[in-house]
């Protein structure tokens, strides 16, 4: 019995060792590939806005980069995102992109509805304050089926698992018997 347990443990350890030894290391750094750019004039500052996907689609995660001429070292800025209906979706200070540290950016951000978005920039730097808009940024319909349908289809395996477990539990329940008189 002990030999069998030792053999099983040795086999499991060997499999884990081979798996860990042959697995490639995951790279935390993946370059940001910019496939489309737009230019914005924010007062005295020229700003290049880069997108990792084009055309933009609603609910699709992508990277944004914001590159002012002359770099970001002596500048600060804010970005306000306006939805197609004119409401502010998000307002935040511009910060370094997590994977492209020499520029400002947003990592894996998605725009939640289709239509013409507006990005409003405010940049403060050695030449003073500048404001500018990237207006009428087209965002197309969400790719794939509607979100509700996707969620409904993805819950089918969970419902099947719950039904299977309930059936197995009912089938393997031991009946409760009354104690026998002695």
**Per-residue model confidence as pLDDT tens digits over 78-90:** 999 999 999 999 9
- The CA-atom distances, in angstroms, between 38 and each of 22, 119, 153 are 43, 11, 38
**Per-residue model confidence as pLDDT tens digits over 63-74:** 999 999 999 999
Q: Structural domain tally of the chain?
A: 1
- Residue 84's domain comprises 36-140
Q: Which residue has the tokens 């299977």?
A: 164
Q: Which residue has the higher pLDDT, 171 or 87?
A: 87
Q: What is the CATH number of the domain that holds 92?
A: 2.60.40.1220
The answer to whether position 77 is within a domain reads: yes
pTM over 0.75: no
Residue 27 above 50 pLDDT? no
């Amino acid at each position: 019995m002990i030999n069998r347990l030792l053999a099983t443990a040795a086999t499991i350890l060997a499999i884990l060792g081979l798996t860990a030894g042959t697995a490639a290391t995951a790279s935390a750094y993946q370059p940001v590939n910019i496939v489309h750019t737009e230019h914005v004039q924010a007062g005295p500052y020229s700003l290049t806005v880069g997108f990792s996907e084009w055309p933009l689609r609603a609910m699709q995660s992508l990277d944004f980069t914001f590159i002012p001429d002359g770099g970001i070292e002596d500048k600060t800025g804010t970005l306000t995102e306006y939805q197609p209906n004119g409401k502010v979706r998000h307002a935040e200070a511009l910060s370094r992109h997590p994977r492209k540290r020499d520029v400002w950016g947003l990592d894996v951000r998605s725009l939640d509805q289709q239509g013409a978005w507006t990005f409003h920039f405010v940049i403060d730097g050695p030449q003073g304050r500048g404001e500018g808009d990237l207006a009428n940024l087209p965002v197309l319909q969400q790719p794939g089926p509607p979100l509700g349908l996707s969620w409904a289809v993805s819950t089918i395996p969970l419902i099947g698992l719950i039904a299977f477990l309930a059936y197995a539990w009912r089938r393997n329940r031991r009946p409760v018997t009354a104690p026998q008189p002695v």
